[in-house]
Structure 1
């Protein structure tokens, strides 16, 4: 039988192939899930034509595509589409229409209410899966149709239509769209009194926020009052009070990027250095895909039990549409042995926890332990309703704590309960996502407490790592182009027009080139992956004397060149791809992500760096870098990698041997930093 297909007569605006679930299991290296931004509407129209959840469909904004069919099939549209037609005959959202071979579907404009429209075709759009999903990730350049929006003339293959479910009308089930939205949220993991004041948290929930014109699939920016900060800066993490040591974000997490709330989207970053005072609950995530610039948003805090009930109701509706009936009861983890404590059971004795005490001024903790022996103090809090965040140690960089976090994450990977979907290491934290139909967060918290109790002393651990030598073109023209563009965003920013001069000034270095000298002399330890996408490392100099101190952009840049190298707080980052960013730029290096055709003789992981890699930079010209970049992208050159080790004992010996000099350097840089801040005030 000849393959059936759809021809794109007119591509519309940013029409992409998406699926429901997106990519799973790659959040820890900076690969976002992607998938339909309004997954609820997409799931309904997909089920309406009888497709399984894995089938691909189309998402569009502003104006939908015009499609021609070469076979008889079923179609259904939904979302912000109000003027779709088949051969001139109107097609209502949620209506299933049989189209004949030769028919033309004009999806029409997405003119509101709502921001996105969806098209489902019987059998689904059968493009190849990349990293487990058909979803398009435009910024990364993969998935869907060659990693891009569809173009006029594209031919989209359709999947097999045998053994599909019967079609069902969903006209009355599609969610209502409007311009005024309520987003239910879970407070935390960050909040009062450490990061925001009590009044600041309350204002976050009392404000009617406006959706900014820069809202997109990476994140929805909100416009409103300044946050009520409880502190003046982020310490080593950066000058702004929003800065924290890099920690993982959940999709739907509301991070404060400087003074701007940004709700992390389906194509958003997995790791970054901003506080997250609330997270949108799973049942309301679909709304993010329909928020239009100018819409208003109210953040409504709810209890975890309410969030769970809302998600159960959502699943029941979709299961009914799919004809699957009720889901099985939520599975429980066997209680951890060895004296690990956990939340008290409810009165029914069924393993479910008693209702939590909810306050909106301070995140409720699932568990908390003081420092004991070689174990740092830690707390476990919800980050939305499907993630928990464990944070350990003080709010400063301690490599002993970083190794402890790594040991805990590895222990969880080795003893992984059913329902754990993602495990993402931060500098002093680990974020865990669950399938909340299988695993409840209080049960996972109990499991983590048990694992933590049995961890080895990080001071005695020697990690087998790699030494990676990378070329660096300092003062790269693309880095300066990013600086130039930013001057129209925040003309008075103290890091304008030259980030390197700003770094020199706040560290009181004699010459501008001394910044490059310090970066070249340093050995950087990778303490996080996926900081701004696709295997991008966040790294810190092993020797404290090489830890240049600076701050991050506020607000962030909207454009950063791929593989630009920047410094924020005491950390260095290599940007995995083009996109937003906030680190002060010093140069550019080679790709840290390479997704090429499968080669049996090559490491199949497209992320080229690993946790605890030791990175050294070698200066090269921009022309030399261009050649090496091309060779690595093509797969004819690899990074210069040698086996190595890392231990906390090594760092302790270094710090003990140079204690006086390290103290002097830190005091000198802190004084310069404080002087710079005083210049801002004056």
Structure 2
């Protein structure tokens, strides 16, 4: 067991790829926002890439270990310490029973990941251990971790002393500017040419009114194609309204004039258009962006998005690690 001394800000158990196959019943995939850093943490300690680990958002937890094990911390720089001594990131370490891991506020990036040999052993719900807070599903008692809780861990030997080379790590921005890949559609034809150009050439600010359901963006107003106005009444009165349809994960959902990127805990359907979609390969960037930072969107093809996803997956294997 691991004892939670401090919970941090919405620290949750997640696994990858999350809760698959239940979105049509109202249960989104959940899982880690930055799955690249998450998978690397697991590989470092000798786990399969998708085993359950911790996602630490903005402010990390303080954890006391009940047994000897192997851990790794990746993702955002929360200046982790072990019994008060600095713990380097992106490498695996032995921790002893009674030692305490503490993560602070994120200095660079937004979300850090903690993997432990064997992974967390909380009960699976609908095929996943991932936490979906808004429905009280997964995690510990359906929610993010709380002070005083004990987190169950599966027994495993682990692999200490391994390091992820810098060339294989995601580049977490320090200049508050992110280039986020998007694919056109499914409703890009509802936006006129000027509106599409404006979206792709503007700096969009990530709003503080964002969470694991949706990332709200602040920027210029949208303009619409003729079909957004010349439509049957059942589509709704606003040009961004459309008859209810399915939403892809990563959809940039246009509610009136407010674009909201639907992320891991987002809805599966609704009555707004989705002019663009952030592919899964770019989700790690969303996961590491902080409110107030600028997002610049770059149009790519579906084939290019698939290639990027494949390249990331090829990096997240044990054979790519080196001795620390």
Q: Output the TM-score relative to the length of structure 1.
A: 0.45
SS of corresponding position for 1:275: strand
Partner of 1:283: 281
Distance change (3 Å), C-alpha of 1:83 and 1:319: closer
On the 8 A contact 1:168/1:321 being kept in 2, the answer is no
- The correspondence of residues 329-368 of structure 1 with structure 2, limited to 5 A, is none
For 1:30 and 1:309, locate their aligned partners in 2 and report how far apart those are by CA, in whole Å.
Answer: 30
User: How far off is 1:63 after superposition?
Assistant: 1.5
Structure 1 residue corresponding to 2:256, chosen from 231, 255, 258:
258
Structure 1 gaps, min length 5 = 324-682
Partner of 1:38: 34
User: How far off is 1:257 after superposition?
Assistant: 1.3
Structure 2 gaps, min length 5 = none
User: How far off is 1:224 after superposition?
Assistant: 0.5
On the 8 A contact 1:75/1:98 being kept in 2, the answer is yes
SS of corresponding position for 1:80: strand
User: How far off is 1:312 after superposition?
Assistant: 2.0
What stretches of structure 1 move > 6 A for 4+ residues in a row? none
Give CA deviations for 1:473-492 in whole Å, capped at 9, x if unaligned: xxxxxxxxxxxxxxxxxxxx
Structure 2 residue corresponding to 1:138, chosen from 128, 133, 140:
133
For 1:253 and 1:243, locate their aligned partners in 2 and report how far apart those are by CA, in whole Å.
Answer: 15
Q: Does 1:68 align with 2:64?
A: yes
Q: Does 1:106 align with 2:102?
A: yes
Structure 1 residue corresponding to 2:299, chosen from 289, 298, 301:
301
For 2:234 and 2:312, locate their aligned partners in 1 and report how far apart those are by CA, in whole Å.
Answer: 43
Partner of 1:204: 199
Q: Of the two structures, which has the highest relative contact order with CA contacts closer than 8 Å and spacing of 6 or more?
A: 2
Partner of 2:221: 226
User: How far off is 1:202 after superposition?
Assistant: 1.3
Q: Output the TM-score relative to the length of structure 2.
A: 0.92
User: How far off is 1:281 after superposition?
Assistant: 2.1
Structure 1 residue corresponding to 2:185, chosen from 183, 188, 209:
188
- The correspondence of residues 119-198 of structure 1 with structure 2, limited to 5 A, is 119-161=114-156, 168-170=162-164, 172=166, 173-178=168-173, 179-192=176-189, 195-198=190-193
On the 8 A contact 2:73/2:89 being kept in 1, the answer is yes
User: How far off is 1:316 after superposition?
Assistant: 1.4
On the 8 A contact 1:165/1:322 being kept in 2, the answer is no
Q: Does 1:9 align with 2:5?
A: yes
Q: Does 1:118 align with 2:113?
A: yes
SS of corresponding position for 2:133: coil
On the 8 A contact 2:39/2:50 being kept in 1, the answer is no
For 1:186 and 1:279, locate their aligned partners in 2 and report how far apart those are by CA, in whole Å.
Answer: 5
User: How far off is 1:165 after superposition?
Assistant: 6.5
For 1:54 and 1:174, locate their aligned partners in 2 and report how far apart those are by CA, in whole Å.
Answer: 17
Could you say which structure has the higher helix fraction?
Answer: 1
User: How far off is 1:310 after superposition?
Assistant: 1.3
Cα-Cα RMSD = 1.8
Give CA deviations for 1:189-224 in whole Å, capped at 9, x if unaligned: 1123xx111111111111111111112100111110
User: How far off is 1:33 after superposition?
Assistant: 0.3
For 1:61 and 1:315, locate their aligned partners in 2 and report how far apart those are by CA, in whole Å.
Answer: 23
Question: Which structure's CA Rg is the greater one?
Answer: 1
Give CA deviations for 1:59-86 in whole Å, capped at 9, x if unaligned: 1223111111111111111222241100
Give CA deviations for 1:458-511 in whole Å, capped at 9, x if unaligned: xxxxxxxxxxxxxxxxxxxxxxxxxxxxxxxxxxxxxxxxxxxxxxxxxxxxxx
Give CA deviations for 1:630-673 in whole Å, capped at 9, x if unaligned: xxxxxxxxxxxxxxxxxxxxxxxxxxxxxxxxxxxxxxxxxxxx
User: How far off is 1:262 after superposition?
Assistant: 0.8
For 2:297 and 2:146, locate their aligned partners in 1 and report how far apart those are by CA, in whole Å.
Answer: 38
Structure 1 residue corresponding to 2:43, chosen from 43, 47, 70:
47
SS of corresponding position for 2:163: coil
Paired positions, count: 315
For 1:216 and 1:30, locate their aligned partners in 2 and report how far apart those are by CA, in whole Å.
Answer: 17
- The correspondence of residues 568-583 of structure 1 with structure 2, limited to 5 A, is none
On the 8 A contact 1:84/1:106 being kept in 2, the answer is yes
SS of corresponding position for 1:47: helix
On the 8 A contact 2:65/2:100 being kept in 1, the answer is yes
Give CA deviations for 1:529-586 in whole Å, capped at 9, x if unaligned: xxxxxxxxxxxxxxxxxxxxxxxxxxxxxxxxxxxxxxxxxxxxxxxxxxxxxxxxxx
Partner of 1:269: 267
Give CA deviations for 1:336-355 in whole Å, capped at 9, x if unaligned: xxxxxxxxxxxxxxxxxxxx
On the 8 A contact 1:13/1:62 being kept in 2, the answer is yes
